[in-house]
Amino acid sequence: GDSWGIFTFLCAALCNLPALPALNCTEELGTSQSIQKTYDLTRYLEHQLRTLAGTYLNYLGPPFNEPDFNPPRLARAERVPSATVDLDLWRGLTDNARLAANYRAYSRLLCYLRALDGQAGTAELRHRLGHFCSRLQGLVLSIAGVINDFLKKMDDFWLLKELQTWLWRSAKDFNRLKKKVPPAVVTLRLEARGF
């Protein structure tokens, strides 16, 4: 993947998102801190979703709130990003590809969740969905921050690594050339000074 293409896409997407409390952008966070905060936010949302999903499914009523209810995905549901990717395939992706997939999925899921928020029947449920949406948007922004920071550092790392390899290889090439070409023969012209 082209990290500059993703960077450009993210910059354009971020310009169109309202400012929400995600990671405090004024803080100078290191890569590991940014990743840790994004991880913490992910775990927080995972915990919050358990409660929210239970409440919402109870609001929908039977059969949706029954524990063994598992209908097939209909055509409309196919537009919702699926997380059911083969685990080995997912692990085989590059960091860049996984981060980009997370960003795309949460951005789309957030759009669908906001539509759900507008349809909720009770004020309490709308409030909880709205709170969850703002935190999910925070996660999208945090992932974008990790992508920008992490991928930039990965690019810098590989730039230096490749430069080091090129210099090492070039030194060997020039050493070989040096051995093939004999040194210039210096001829001294002796001027006849009376000899």
- Closest listed residue to residue 104, CA positions, set 116, 94, 96, 92: 96
Residue tagged 């949460």 (tokens)? 106
pLDDT tens for 115-139 read: 876 777 788 888 888 899 999 999 9
pLDDT tens for 32-80 read: 888 889 999 999 999 999 888 888 888 888 998 888 888 877 766 677 8
43: which 2 tokens? 């775990």
Spans of all domains in the chain: 3-16+28-153
pTM for the whole thing? Answer: 0.65
DSSP H stretches of helix in the chain: 3-15, 31-60, 87-92, 95-119, 123-180
Residue type, position 191, single letter:
E
CA angle 16, 109, 11 (to 5 degrees): 25
End-to-end CA distance of the chain: 76
Distance CA 139, CA 79 (A): 21
Averaged pLDDT for residues 184-193: 51
Residue 61 backbone class (left: φ over 0; alpha: ψ -120 to 50; beta: rest): left
Number of residues assigned to the chain: 195
